[in-house]
Chain A
Amino acid sequence: MSAAAGRQAARRSHRGRKRLRTVTSYALAVGGAVLFLLPLFWMVSSSLKPEYQVLQYPPRWLPDPIRWANYAEALTYVPFGRYTLNTLFIASMTIFGHLLSCTVVAYAFARLRAPGKEFLFLVLLATLMLPYPVTMIPIYIGFKTVGWVNSFLPLIVPAFFGSAFYIFLMRQFFLTLPLELEDAARVDGANTLQIIWHVILPISKPALATVAIFTFQASWNDFLGPLIYLHDQTKYTVSLGLSFFRSSYDVQWAYLMAASLVTMLPVIILFFFAQRLFIEGITLTGIKT
């Protein structure tokens, strides 16, 4: 076979293999998506059923009649509008606090040298391990002493002191960034804060987005914190609102599913838009090869 023909054959089989790969990828992605969506479909279907149909046997796939009223009733069972605003506020402030503190601390751990750094890093990891029920009571008594109970402060202020999880995440991310950019900036005379702001942050969008998404979600779904720190029902968050559908002996399935789906929406929307950030030019720009 001539060299050209050989190359052509290789290219054709390469294309064929590539097509097979693409088809398989689609099949897997779609198959997995269906599996993942099935429980959600069930959730939606139940949210539209009259309550007694939810636990029916044999189980129905489609509600009959479709009870749209479930949504209106579930969302007014308790004032979800107010709760949503409260939760949005807490979540946004927490994101802000995390992005501010964790970036700075993580950069220090990733790039700077200092005595005791290794030890402190281990301490950082160690703090991830302490189970929360134990520190819960002393911290609560502490907040009670300074009069912060029954306000949003205990839920927001700790975020400004960094969070081990996100510091760890950002540190790992920063370590994957090549040094050239920072070195160039330093050669140009930038100090550390300027480097962080002008060089690191613009190329850290995936990590920042991840921190924002996870923080939002954790804050949005946090239950124990609001449970013990918020006493006024007007200050309740969405997760406390959802708990009203579950009393000690009874679950109001249809309402719970309806309300859960609605309260899921902000997080999903945030995720859908934030993950576009991953796609828009995340390759390390600025390196002129």
Chain B
Amino acid sequence: MTLTGRAKALRRARRSTSLARREALTFYLLISPWLIGLLLFVLGPMVASLVVSFTRWDLLSPATFIGLQNYEKMLTRDPLFWQSLKVTAIYTCVYVPMELAGGLVLALLLNQRLRFEGVFRTIYYLPSVLPGVAFVVLWIWILHPDVGLLNTLLSYVGIQGPRWLADPGWALPALLMMSLWGLGRSMVIYLASLQGIPRHLYEAASIDGANSWQSFWKITIPLLTPTIFFNLVLSIISTFQTFTSAYVATDGGPLDSTLFYVLYLFRQAFQYFNMGYASALAWVLFLIILALTLLIVRSSGRWVFYEGERR
């Protein structure tokens, strides 16, 4: 029998119950560290936070049970809840595609065996290596309307730059710009995947007469879909939770134009000491992200292609 033939036979054999049971056991054994951690660091605290969301609690005095009042207030009497959702949604819708496409473009660019590619990659990755607060502080300064780098550069070409973080219309775009400087991170993930595409596929394709555009669409992109899926899901999840840049740079202003959801949550928890309300906000955020992710995961069956997946 050929190797593939024997493998197929083995696979068929493994579908029998005792082997399947052994496989299931191995599965659970292998994921046990994660399962335990899940209980300790995730489920336990999550249940605690859900319970807290039904109370009023300022952390220092005992909690009072108030039922669904927090949720009711959030949905009917809190304009800042809706504002923060709006800000976060707009930002996410703009940033995620830009990050996805930008990271991919950079990775493709640097995957071409250019000279000094190590240097190039490091340069692009460099910004995302800066400690979060230092990164933002540097940008606050670059965006300074009077003495900052950006407006100085713009003045060289005769443009009077806007007041960026001090202008409610420009603060959010400013934060977007700031975050795009951290593209290196997603570039690295794409690079790792690009490197994992076996070269012989491209060789075979070019022998068959395909040009680079066709190779790109027929080989690169399909094989990259797991990575794109990965980056898409993670990007949405993390962008929805943007916090540090707004906290350090604008504190939600001016005029609440950069009031991100998690910033608002943080403020409720650590400045107003409304732990109950903050927990309720957290759960609503969780549900929103859950819904979005489910949507993407469901649709992934249609456009994500796994070479090594068993069907």
- Chain A residues with CB under 8 Å of chain B are 21-22, 25-26, 28-29, 32-33, 36-40, 42-43, 46, 54-59, 101, 104-105, 107-115, 117, 120, 122-131, 133-135, 137-139, 142, 158, 160-162, 165, 167-169, 172-180, 183-184, 186-187, 192, 206-207, 209-210, 213-214, 217, 220-221, 223, 238-239, 242-243, 246, 251, 253, 256-257, 260, 263-264, 267-268, 271-272, 275-276, 278-279, 282-284, 287, 289
Contacts and interface: CB of A to CB of B under 8 A. Distances in A.
Per DSSP, are chain B's interface residues mostly helix, strand or loop, or mixed?
Answer: helix
A167 B269 contact: no
Those 5 A-B pairs whose CB atoms lie nearest each other, nearest first: A161-B37, A114-B24, A135-B45, A162-B34, A114-B27
A180 B46 contact: no
B7 A183 contact: yes
A187 B3 contact: yes
Contacts of B46: 130, 135
B134 A123 contact: no
Contact of A25 (B40, B114, B289): B114
B112, B233, B234, B308 interface centre (most CB from chain A within 10 Å): B308
Given A114-B24, A206-B196, A161 B124 contact: no
Per DSSP, are chain A's interface residues mostly helix, strand or loop, or mixed?
Answer: helix
A289 B137 CA distance: 54
Given A29-B109, A165-B234, A169-B189, A42 B149 contact: yes
Contacts of A169: 189, 230
Contact of B138 (A33, A42, A142, A160): A42
Contact of B30 (A21, A32, A105, A268): A105
A37 B30 contact: no
B302 interface: no
Contacts of B131: 220-221, 223, 238-239, 242, 260, 263-264
B279 interface: yes
B96 interface: no
Contact of B36 (A161, A180, A187, A282): A161
A221 B106 CA distance: 24
Contacts of B290: 126, 129
Contacts of A127: 38, 42
Contacts of A134: 45, 49, 265, 269, 278-279, 282
B133 A246 contact: yes
Interface residues of B, number: 104
Contacts, number: 294
Contacts of B223: 176
28 contacts: A32-B109, A37-B126, A39-B139, A39-B149, A105-B34, A108-B26, A113-B20, A115-B24, A125-B293, A129-B289, A133-B270, A134-B279, A135-B46, A138-B49, A139-B45, A142-B44, A161-B37, A167-B34, A179-B7, A183-B10, A192-B30, A207-B192, A256-B137, A257-B138, A260-B130, A264-B126, A264-B129, A283-B195
B193 A176 contact: yes
A264 B308 contact: no
Contacts of A260: 130-131, 134, 138
A276 B33 CA distance: 31
Given A101-B33, A260-B130, A284-B198, A175 B309 contact: yes
B237 A128 contact: yes
Given A40-B126, A57-B146, A268-B126, A184 B49 contact: no
Given A101-B33, A177-B308, A253-B141, 9 more contacts: A59-B152, A108-B26, A111-B310, A113-B23, A177-B196, A186-B7, A187-B7, A267-B129, A282-B196
